[in-house]
């Protein structure tokens, strides 16, 4: 079966792809991409400046048609990051409609030109090389196969009852799993029209009139801050949140304003989306659901011994299944007996429901012999009426080993003791912050994730 099944459907006249205001039918997209695919023959790896527009979608589609691995380069990447990605990936050309001094350039847009559709590449062929955020060193290239993408999109279509009758709306970047694999390749496989809003603003989402919306927590928080725009989404079938934990207050407010609880899901670049709530099942604030079809999960302790799924025990989350990557470029497989250690810590209930505590390196705080999940403390802080944002980390403490330290953005001055006591009334005493830092904003990356490595106690 072809990876981009719906793209090859000749009877697609009403099905469109819209990006930043420009629309084409799937047939037109296939023609443009096929022309570029002919020029890509023999190219080992191609990069594209992944701006949020139709040319990026054409370029990535062309690479998939030609069986050439595509490297999406973040348009806001700094010079050092950009140079590393282009050099490390081995990209031979840069797909772009503008000049570039980095690599030989191949034009994307070719008016009036179309080409014959190449034969379908082997399912095991690398499709994308996606670069990690580089929080523990230089960004690493994650090699994702066509088979992994197809398996994940089919599993999500089942979990969300995502069909050609949906219209997908989002404004997410086109160089991550969320915005690119789910948000672009999903519609091209499943057949649903796509409306990419350029930027994920509440007004743009409200005007789009879709049935399926993708957003990160920052997007949904901003939607909730504009109640009139949020109410325009009441006709949507599913609101999906991912890429970072959705704060419980945002979950609850979005539910009230739109009339439906959002669907949360969990994944990462190396695994694609592995855990999700279902279209016809419960949605639980602070939880991300159960494994999708073809995926297994388990918790292990620091020695790699499997732990009990009791909903309380915190362990390192491991994943295996058809959606996993082929390995890091130049480093081979990162799997042990088929299992990938995600670096995240979680709990799993007896019913299979997962709660992601956070990154093992920053969100699992070992204090006075206790293991405290940063997310639980953050959710408690966010219940305070004056707190708009919260991030919790462990910082060195001579007696406890680590102490729970909070960084909060508030609507006005709030005494530190008030916030500490507020948490202590809701959680076990050892989970309360020992220190609370009031800050003007939290450092975030392009996907809205808080960059905790940049938090420094005052």
- Residues 351, 352, 353, 359, CA torsion sign: positive
Hey, what's the torsion of the CAs at 212, 214, 215, 216, to 10 degrees? 140
Pairing of strands 93-95, 295-300: unpaired
Which of 51, 356, 5 shows the shortest CA–CA distance to 164? 5
Confirm if 231 and 224 have CB atoms less than 8 A apart: no
Confirm if 289 and 277 have CB atoms less than 8 A apart: yes
Pairing of strands 46-49, 238-241: unpaired
Which of 334, 354, 350 shows the shortest CA–CA distance to 342? 334
Structure-block tokens of residue 66? 């030609």
Which of 162, 189, 191 shows the shortest CA–CA distance to 292? 162
Within 8 A by CB and 6+ apart from 79, the residues are none
Q: Domains (ranges, CATH) in the chain?
A: 1-360 (3.40.50.12780), 364-454 (3.30.300.30)
Please report, for residues 10, 38, 59, 410, the alpha-carbon distance to residue 117 in angstroms, rounded to integers and kept in the order given.
13, 8, 14, 55
226 burial via Cβ count (<10 Å: 0-12, 13-18, 19+): middle
Q: Report pTM.
A: 0.84
Which of 50, 121, 51 shows the shortest CA–CA distance to 86? 50
State the DSSP code for 301.
Answer: -
98 burial via Cβ count (<10 Å: 0-12, 13-18, 19+): exposed
- pLDDT tens, the chain, 458 aa long: 789 998 887 555 556 899 988 899 998 899 999 999 999 999 999 999 999 999 999 999 999 999 999 999 988 877 878 888 999 999 999 999 887 777 999 999 887 666 788 889 999 999 999 998 655 567 889 999 999 999 999 999 999 999 999 999 999 999 989 999 999 999 999 999 999 999 999 999 999 999 999 998 889 989 999 999 999 999 999 999 998 888 888 999 999 999 999 999 999 999 999 999 999 999 999 999 999 999 999 999 989 999 999 999 999 999 999 999 999 998 877 888 899 999 999 999 999 999 998 877 777 787 876 778 788 888 889 999 999 999 998 888 877 878 999 999 999 889 999 999 999 888 878 889 999 999 999 988 766 778 888 887 76
Structure-block tokens of residue 122? 């082997």
Structure-block tokens of residue 17? 């792809």
Integer Cα distance of 268 and 243 in angstroms: 8
Helix axes 26-39, 54-66, angle to 10 degrees: 60
Residue whose pair of structure tokens reads 């007004």 in the numeric block: 203
Integer Cα distance of 50 and 60 in angstroms: 9
What single string gives the DSSP state of each residue in 77-120?
Answer: --HHHHHHHHHHHT--EEE-SS--SSS-EE-S--TT---PPPPP
The pLDDT assigned to 290 comes to 98
Confirm if 273 and 158 have CB atoms less than 8 A apart: no
Rounded to a whole number, what is the distance in angstroms from the first to the last CA of the chain? Answer: 57
The pLDDT assigned to 134 comes to 54
Please report, for residues 71, 173, 431, the alpha-carbon distance to residue 286 in angstroms, rounded to integers and kept in the order given.
33, 24, 17
Q: Give residue 344's region: left, alpha or beta (phi > 0; psi -120 to 50).
A: beta
Residue whose pair of structure tokens reads 């830092």 in the numeric block: 437
Helix, strand and coil percent figures for the chain, each rounded to 5: 30, 30, 45
State the DSSP code for 121.
Answer: P
State the DSSP code for 292.
Answer: P
The pLDDT assigned to 10 comes to 53
The pLDDT assigned to 363 comes to 76
Integer Cα distance of 416 and 405 in angstroms: 11
Within 8 A by CB and 6+ apart from 274, the residues are 266, 267, 291, 292, 295, 297, 319, 321, 323
Pairing of strands 46-49, 93-95: parallel
């Amino acid at each position: 079966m072809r990876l981009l099944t719906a793209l090859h459907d000749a009877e697609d006249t009403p099905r469109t792809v819209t990006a930043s205001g420009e629309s084409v039918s799937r047939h037109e997209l296939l023609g443009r991409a096929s022309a570029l695919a002919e020029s890509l023959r023999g190219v080992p790896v191609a990069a594209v400046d992944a701006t949020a527009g139709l040319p990026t979608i054409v370029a990535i589609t062309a690479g998939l048609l030609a069986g050439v691995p595509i490297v999406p380069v973040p348009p806001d990447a700094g010079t050092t990051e950009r140079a590393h990605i282009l050099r490390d990936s081995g990209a031979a050309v840069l797909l772009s409609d503008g000049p570039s001094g980095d690599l030989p350039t191949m034009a994307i847009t070719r008016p009036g030109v179309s080409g014959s559709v190449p034969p379908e590449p082997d399912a095991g062929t690398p499709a994308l090389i996606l670069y990690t955020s580089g929080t523990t060193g230089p960004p690493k290239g994650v090699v994702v196969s066509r088979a992994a993408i197809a398996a994940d999109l089919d599993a999500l279509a089942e979990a969300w009852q995502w069909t050609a009758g949906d219209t997908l709306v989002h404004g997410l970047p086109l160089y991550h799993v969320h915005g690119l694999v789910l948000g672009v390749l999903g519609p091209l496989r499943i057949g649903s029209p796509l409306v990419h809003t350029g930027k994920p603003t509440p007004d743009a989402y409200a005007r789009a009139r879709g049935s399926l919306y993708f957003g990160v927590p920052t997007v949904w928080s901003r939607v909730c801050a504009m109640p009139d725009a949020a109410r325009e989404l009441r006709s949507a079938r599913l609101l999906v949140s991912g890429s970072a934990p959705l704060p419980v207050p945002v979950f609850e407010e979005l539910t009230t304003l739109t009339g439906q609880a959002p669907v949360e899901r969990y994944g990462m670049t190396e695994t694609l989306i592995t855990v999700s709530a279902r279209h016809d099942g419960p949605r639980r604030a602070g939880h991300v659901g159960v494994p999708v079809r073809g995926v297994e999960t388990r918790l292990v302790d620091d020695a790699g011994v499997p732990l009990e799924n009791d909903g309380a025990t915190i362990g390192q989350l491991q994943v295996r299944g058809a959606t996993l990557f082929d390995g890091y470029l130049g480093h081979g497989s990162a799997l042990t007996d088929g299992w990938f250690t995600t670096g995240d810590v979680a709990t799993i209930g007896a019913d299979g429901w997962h709660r992601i505590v956070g990154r093992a390196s920053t969100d699992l705080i070992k204090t006075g012999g206790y293991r405290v999940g940063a997310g639980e403390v953050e959710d408690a802080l966010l219940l305070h009426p004056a707190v708009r944002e919260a991030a919790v980390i462990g910082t060195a403490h001579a007696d406890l080993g680590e102490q729970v330290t909070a960084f909060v953005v508030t609507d006005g001055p709030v005494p530190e003791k008030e916030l500490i006591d507020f948490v202590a009334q809701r959680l076990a005493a050892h989970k309360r912050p020992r220190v609370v830092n009031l800050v003007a904003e939290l450092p975030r990356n392009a996907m809205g994730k808080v960059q905790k490595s940049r938090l420094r106690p005052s």
